[in-house]
Structure 1
């Protein structure tokens, strides 16, 4: 009995994604191989346009192996080309079938975050018009990302030899002209921004949570943090959420 068109298409697609799967009858192997190479090359180019440093750092063999493994085993949940690299980065972070260096997932996340922030259209939130007080509701600006990594993902050095004891803490900001600015964060600024998060919190609540996490007295932490909090508000890293 002849296969239905849907079954034939599924067998064809399965084989093109993963040549270990049986090919449809009556189609020359070389034709399928050409089509498979064209499909993977298209995915390779798409991912490399967002992840150029990851591609360069991995090298030709490891990069291509990761792309082919992803192509064969992962079914994308997004139909939008700009989001496919983000899905690839999330896949890298969760898969254990191929051996990749420890820095690969962090570098992929960093590059994808840059692209996402550049493309997103979100309201910026309202600047705080006065010195911050305990009852003010603040959140990390939608035009900002607060990022922390073990590896020095900002640097162009070969990451295989560049693991350092200090984490890489950065604030990634989209400016009014849509260009991206990257700033290093001190550990206290990173912890303070993380305490507010994108959803926001009252100043007193965020400082209490931070004091509890660090095991310090809230009053002492408040003395240190309030001037820094004012600087972060002035710089636009912390804003009043739009729904407040």
Structure 2
């Protein structure tokens, strides 16, 4: 029985190299082949719509290569997009921007299904009436929400499509912030380099107060940590607090 199952699975994945198991009607076998492959193709097309449009008529061949050659690490069907991303990262030999584009398309799903919660890290929400939120953000240790992900890509993944296929990465990386709001929706933001670095610092140096973070940021940027710089940084922290990206300060 096990041998028959292995033969069946091998044929479904790679019918050109593995003959159909004996004793099965060829028409029924064709139904199985089409059903399995089309289900995988539709699922991946739904999660990677830009890649699907870029590849056009070549899409089935790309899916077939994955379907035939990748050994999945999980039996869970919803994890298939992550497996496709792993395969693109590991197999190489295609457009150099393809793995980053795939990650950019996959990460929205990853954040949507993430089981992380802002309350995973003990913090004060700063929602007490008449609280001086600005003072608390400067004196306390601002918390970057576990549902806010700053990302950097070498390629302009937000612009790639059938009409724009870059040949060389730009001089500056593409900086992105993904955030899942209280309504469950995932939003994409395009922070400037200084804001993106501050977001990154909140996670890298969680022991620093908001003021210390801004002073360190100024030092990195070669700027004076004067009142004007602190005020601009505080505006960012307050806006992020309003949007839930910085839900409060660590306890």
| TM-score range relative to shorter protein | 0.7 to 0.9
Q: Residues 96-175 of structure 1 correspond to what in structure 2 (within 5 A)?
A: 96=92, 99-125=93-119, 126=123, 127=125, 129-131=133-135, 132-133=137-138, 136-155=140-159, 157=161, 158-161=163-166, 163-175=169-181
Residue 173 of structure 1 aligns to a residue whose secondary structure is strand
1:13 to 9, 13, 16: 9
Residue 184 of structure 2 aligns to a residue whose secondary structure is coil
The equivalent of 2:129 in structure 1 is none
Conserved 8 A contact 2:160-2:166: no
Conserved 8 A contact 1:133-1:203: no
Output the CA distance in 2 between the equivalents of 1:38 and 1:118: 28
RMSD: 3.3
- Going from structure 1 to structure 2, the CA distance change for 1:78 and 1:233 (only over 3 Å counts) comes to farther
Could you list the runs of 5+ residues in structure 2 that have no partner in the other structure?
127-132
The equivalent of 2:130 in structure 1 is none
Could you list the runs of 5+ residues in structure 1 that have no partner in the other structure?
none
180-189 or 230-239: bigger deviation = 230-239
Residue 84 of structure 1 aligns to a residue whose secondary structure is helix
The equivalent of 1:196 in structure 2 is 202
Output the CA distance in 1 between the equivalents of 2:196 and 2:134: 22
TM-score normalized by the length of structure 1: 0.77
Output the CA distance in 2 between the equivalents of 1:53 and 1:67: 14
Displacement of 1:49 after TM fit?
1.1
Conserved 8 A contact 1:152-1:159: no
Instruction: Report how many aligned residue pairs link the two structures.
Output: 231
